[in-house]
Structure 1
């Protein structure tokens, strides 16, 4: 089958800093790097490297041709990426010595995707395929509703977190993947767990501690540990995890099997500096010795 990923495409600018800046503080960076990023692009690359056929739905500006080329090099189908006159999105990423990061996003073309563009692409999709999306673009509700009507699996990764954005699509989702901070934000905003009273499955990632899977239909909770590694950069680890989940499900693996592989991929990812350009492929993950 095919994974259709409605997702952002960014140029990532990495600044190595002694610590993450506080309000009003000016820091001198010790190095600068540039690469392909955006939560959407990261997830597309991860799913492709995990062995899935991925079609990316997105947009770039006149400065984004190299990003589309890079996605193609990594095995992503880029035919549904629009070329617009607006500047491409970018991210300013500060990374400290412990590998923690703080990110500022400029959305650019990521917020210029039309329902018509999404509809034309999904008109080629088949029942049993997968739609995944994040919150760095527009059009999530239209895409989720359309995909659900076609009998597709819908995976929501609600980052950056917005309560209204998640509530708008949750009735169409089969699986939500988010981190513990985002899960806490939802509980604080709504007073209830995500998808309470529905058939939704929710994966909450816990960083070095792995993740928790909640099945709202059965009430079952499963914990998955993560390999112990020394992190150098946590940027893109959650995106790698989500992409590997989608790829595993697309290949017919159970959700539990997909999670077990995804936690290994994320653990390997945090030992590398960068984002989409360093996401491990399936052989890397399977051969890793933790």
Structure 2
């Protein structure tokens, strides 16, 4: 089986700062690095490192060849990443000494993906495959509709959060992944609890408090405790969790085991500085002593 991921590809520009800047504040940073990022790229790398076959559907600009090559190095199928005239997306990421971050995002080529690009990729997909997407590209609703018509399982990571975007795709979803803040925003925007949503599974990441799984098909709910680690950089942890979660489901693992595997991967991720380039591989995750 294959995960087809309609996802963003960014250059992540990291700046280490003593604290996150406030309004009107100018800060000097102690270091600067460039890495591969974007929620889509992060999730593709995580799923590939979790031993799934991953086809990334996306776009870069003339300056993005290095990002495509990096994805290939990490085991992602890049045949459906288009090269466009629009600049590659990028993110400016400030990380403080406590590991917290804030991010300024320029979407670039991620928002220039067209329906024919998506259709060409999904022409290779079938009902045994999984379709994943986030809110950092164009073509989301159209792609999810095509995937659903093919009988694929459809998963959505609801970030960056936009109530209209999430509401527009909810009827198409089998799996919704979001964090605690996004969950509250969605419930406020729709006037519905997660238990009332049409999606079969809702998985809510709670940071240091663990993870919450709502199975609306069975009418059950379960909370998973977090693995205790000391974070140095939380950037990409949620993406790592999602990639590992879906890879585990794609490989036939039950949801509780898939969530636990995703939590282990995310726990390792927050002890590393960076995004896609430092996502742990499956052996790292299985061998790690956590908690």
TM-score for the superposition, normalised by structure 1 = 0.98
Find the counterpart in structure 2 of residue 166 from structure 1: 166
**CA contact 1:57–1:81 (8 Å) conserved in 2:** yes
Runs of 4 or more above 3 Å deviation? none
Find the counterpart in structure 1 of residue 84 from structure 2: 84
Counterpart Cα distance in 2 of 1:41 and 1:21:
27
Find the counterpart in structure 1 of residue 200 from structure 2: 200
Counterpart Cα distance in 1 of 2:193 and 2:178:
12
Counterpart Cα distance in 2 of 1:241 and 1:92:
22
**CA contact 1:170–1:195 (8 Å) conserved in 2:** no
Counterpart Cα distance in 2 of 1:77 and 1:83:
15
Counterpart Cα distance in 1 of 2:53 and 2:23:
43
Alignment partner of 1:228: what SS? Answer: coil
Counterpart Cα distance in 2 of 1:200 and 1:254:
14
**CA contact 1:16–1:96 (8 Å) conserved in 2:** yes
Alignment partner of 2:196: what SS? Answer: coil
Within the alignment, does 1:119 sit opposite 2:119 as a pair?
yes
Alignment partner of 2:103: what SS? Answer: strand
Find the counterpart in structure 1 of residue 279 from structure 2: 279
Alignment partner of 2:36: what SS? Answer: strand
Within the alignment, does 1:63 sit opposite 2:63 as a pair?
yes
Find the counterpart in structure 2 of residue 50 from structure 1: 50
Q: CA deviation at 1:190?
A: 2.0
Counterpart Cα distance in 2 of 1:111 and 1:33:
25
TM-score for the superposition, normalised by structure 2 = 0.98
Counterpart Cα distance in 1 of 2:114 and 2:199:
30
Counterpart Cα distance in 2 of 1:198 and 1:6:
22
Alignment partner of 1:13: what SS? Answer: strand
Mind listing any 5+ residue stretches in structure 1 that lack a counterpart? Answer: none
Seen in structure 2, the aligned counterparts of structure 1 residues 268 and 116 have a Cα distance that, compared at 3 Å, is: same
Seen in structure 2, the aligned counterparts of structure 1 residues 116 and 20 have a Cα distance that, compared at 3 Å, is: same
Find the counterpart in structure 2 of residue 130 from structure 1: 130
Counterpart Cα distance in 1 of 2:153 and 2:187:
25
Counterpart Cα distance in 2 of 1:197 and 1:226:
25
Q: CA deviation at 1:195?
A: 6.5
Find the counterpart in structure 2 of residue 233 from structure 1: 233
**CA contact 2:170–2:198 (8 Å) conserved in 1:** no
Q: CA deviation at 1:23?
A: 1.2
Seen in structure 2, the aligned counterparts of structure 1 residues 16 and 171 have a Cα distance that, compared at 3 Å, is: same
Counterpart Cα distance in 2 of 1:258 and 1:163:
27
**CA contact 2:233–2:270 (8 Å) conserved in 1:** yes
Find the counterpart in structure 1 of residue 34 from structure 2: 34
Find the counterpart in structure 2 of residue 17 from structure 1: 17
Once the two structures are superposed, residues 109-130 of structure 1 have per-residue CA deviations (whole angstroms, 9 ceiling, x without a partner) of 0000001110111011011100
Counterpart Cα distance in 2 of 1:142 and 1:245:
24
Find the counterpart in structure 2 of residue 210 from structure 1: 210
**CA contact 1:56–1:78 (8 Å) conserved in 2:** yes
**CA contact 2:44–2:76 (8 Å) conserved in 1:** yes
Find the counterpart in structure 2 of residue 242 from structure 1: 242
**CA contact 1:4–1:132 (8 Å) conserved in 2:** yes
Counterpart Cα distance in 1 of 2:261 and 2:2:
19
